[in-house]
Structures are given as structure tokens and as C-alpha cells.
Structure 1
Amino acid sequence: MKLSELKKSSPEELLELAQSLGAENISRAKKQTLIFIILKAKAANNEEVIGDGTLDILQDGYGFLRSSDDSYTSGADDI
């Protein structure tokens, strides 16, 4: 599954997918939360998740995948 495809999906599509993966009590969840729930379920099933962007490695050793959609700035969509 490509992360970029999830980001392009509507909240309704994400809700349907999350529910099909067994998520409950998510009818009022925000889009970002739904994406996280879906990614977590996919990872738990050992399914491949593909993200694209530029890896920004900070001085403390942590790295974040920045997206051109956000002009490579930090944001809620960072992974």
C-alpha cells in the first residue's frame, strides 16, 4: 500500500477501509487519524507500506520523510 494513495483518498473512503480492517468507534475520526489506523493495521498484518519523499535526518538521529506536497516542511503527515 502506498501512503500517497491514502493521502489522496477521501475521508469516507478511509473510513470504509479502516472499518474493513476491523477498526471500531471511528466515525468521527479525522483523516490523519484514519490514515494512522490503516497503517497500523497493515503493519500488524506484515503488509508492506510504501512512503515517498525526502529523508530529513535531524542532529539527534531521528529522521522524517518530508513530502513535496508540503514544500518539504515539517507537518502532521511526516513519518
Structure 2
Amino acid sequence: MNNKEEKMMKEINKLSEIPNFKNEEEEAIFWDNHGLGDDLLESMTSFDIEENIEAEILTKLRLLSMDKKRQVLDFTESLCQKMS
């Protein structure tokens, strides 16, 4: 995109200026003619997706580990009862 095309794009300064789209084609046409303004971009919160995914995976692994420990304890208890 050259500078002339960039200048012709309408700048979006508030999220409320973004309409609800009927379909992807309508959305594509809108974004071909609009761009996010600097103030809006700066106000958006960024987050580390990798960190969030790692935290989610660790949580799931901990839960699986706890479940496996419970299964081992139950199995051990069952064996002990059978042996006595």
C-alpha cells in the first residue's frame, strides 16, 4: 500500500465505530477502506499468548497428575485390601 492509499483510508478512533458485519465480504470491504488510529492501537491491551498457553497447559498437567496419583493410591489400597 502506498502513502496515497494510506491517506485515503478512514481512521477508526473508537471501537464503537466498527460496525457489525453481515458477512466476511462486507467486513473485508470495510477494512480495505478503514484502519485503526494510533490512539486506539495504543489503548489496546496486549498479552503474551505463549505465557497464557503455558499456564493453561501447566494447570491441565497438574490436574492430570493429581488424577493419576489418586488412581495409583486407589489401586494400591485395593491391592492391600486383597492381600489382607
TM-score with structure 1 length normalisation? 0.25
Q: Which has the higher helix share?
A: 2
